[in-house]
Amino acid sequence: MRTIKGPALFLAQFAGDEAPFNSWDSITRWAADCGYIGVQVPSWDSRLFDLQAAAGSRDYCDEFRGKARDNGVEVTELSTHLQGQLVAVHPAYDEMFDGFAAPEVRGNPKARQEWAVDQVKKALSASRNMDIDVHATFSGALAWPFIYPWPQRPAGLVETAFDELAKRWRPILDHAEDCGVDVCYEIHPGEDLHDGITYEMFLDRVGGHARANMLYDPSHYMLQCLDYLDNIDIYKDRIRMFHVKDAEFNPTGRQGVYSGFQNWVDRAGRFRSLGDGQIDFGAIFAKMAANDFDGWAVVEWECCLKHPEDGAREGARFVADHIIRVTETAFDDFAGGGTDDAANQRILGI
């Protein structure tokens, strides 16, 4: 068994225009001061990271990682959540997702998708240049508007959507193979890959591609009423990244999973700061240790109530307290008698 690394922090929710969140130097110093030893980088945020430079220059990557180390943190992974979303967008979401793209491709779905594919490939190349072998992203979605089967879906609609999704991602996964980097899809509502079944549908269509892996985030499973502990055992060979995020689900006689179009504060299912929700992280960290997960425990802070800076500091302590330093010996070794094959045969009477 190997001990999980951490705590680390996903910086996407913290990057901003005000110090200390507006530069790579200052935000990494802040993260270290909060108690983190690693940071996950949103590759789209030019205040922190130059994706073009990182994809083409190992010198840039060495300098980028070196600055982080000087400030007390490691670069754990790069993320293309926003760009990955744009690999596949249903027309119903064109306008809402256009803001994720570069200005020159907005309003042009074909150009936007080509840009998104190029962005994810660049981030995989940058990961290789940083000697990082896992990468976080979203799958995008073509079938999500049809998640509820009313009106009745035409025969073959979902299958066609997943065929197309796989067609778009296969060249990216092949580039990931060339780079030696696993693509870790965050299994997330709003994506076509939003639970285990949909992940399997996709995996089947990409031929069980070795680079098509998973980012485990229990908060998205709790809000679907999915067994987030069983999920770890089912997909332990495909879970390559871990977001530590809490949530709570409090259905009433008025609302349940869909929450009646309410805002986050008023929803039955809400994201919470670590320790304020209902997720059993003791059991999760135990399963991760037993299953030999050797990646990073990365805090993704999202909470509808608490201030983010408070959530970040509390999250570092929470993860540090939950990481299990795995044992190198059995607890009952003191009672071992030391034996051999002949003794075993005598004990068994054979």
Tokens of 164: 């197309």
Tokens of 209: 């591609």
Rounded to whole angstroms, the Cα distance separating 272 from 181 reads 31
Rounded to whole angstroms, the Cα distance separating 191 from 89 reads 9
Rounded to whole angstroms, the Cα distance separating 348 from 88 reads 62
Tell me the one-letter amino acid at 66. G
Tokens of 60: 């840039």
Asked whether the beta carbons of 185 and 212 are under 8 A apart, the reply is yes
Rounded to whole angstroms, the Cα distance separating 278 from 281 reads 9
Alpha-helical regions (H) of the chain: 24-34, 51-56, 58-70, 81-85, 94-97, 109-129, 157-179, 196-205, 218-222, 228-234, 281-290, 308-322, 341-348
- In this prediction, residue 333 carries a pLDDT of 67
- In this prediction, residue 327 carries a pLDDT of 78
Burial 156-189 (b: 16+ CB within 10 A, else e): eebeebbeebbebbeebbebbeebebbbbbbbbe
Asked whether the beta carbons of 186 and 243 are under 8 A apart, the reply is yes
- Considering only CA atoms, which of 213, 63, 30 is closest in space to residue 130? 63
pLDDT tens string, the chain, 350 residues long: the values are 789 999 999 999 999 999 999 999 999 999 999 999 999 999 999 999 999 999 999 999 999 999 999 999 999 999 999 999 999 999 999 999 999 999 999 999 999 999 999 999 999 999 999 999 999 999 999 999 999 999 999 999 999 999 999 999 999 999 999 999 999 999 999 999 999 999 999 999 999 999 999 999 999 999 999 999 999 999 999 999 999 999 999 999 999 999 999 999 999 999 999 999 999 999 999 999 999 999 999 999 999 999 999 999 999 999 999 999 987 766 666 567 677 888 888 889 99
Domain extents in the chain: 5-348
Cis status, amide bond into 20, omega within 30 of 0: yes
- In this prediction, residue 331 carries a pLDDT of 64
- In this prediction, residue 250 carries a pLDDT of 98
- In this prediction, residue 157 carries a pLDDT of 98
Total residues belonging to the chain? 350
Rounded to whole angstroms, the Cα distance separating 235 from 212 reads 12
- The reply to whether CATH 3.20.20.150 applies to domain 5-348 is yes
- pTM for the whole structure: 0.95
- In this prediction, residue 343 carries a pLDDT of 86
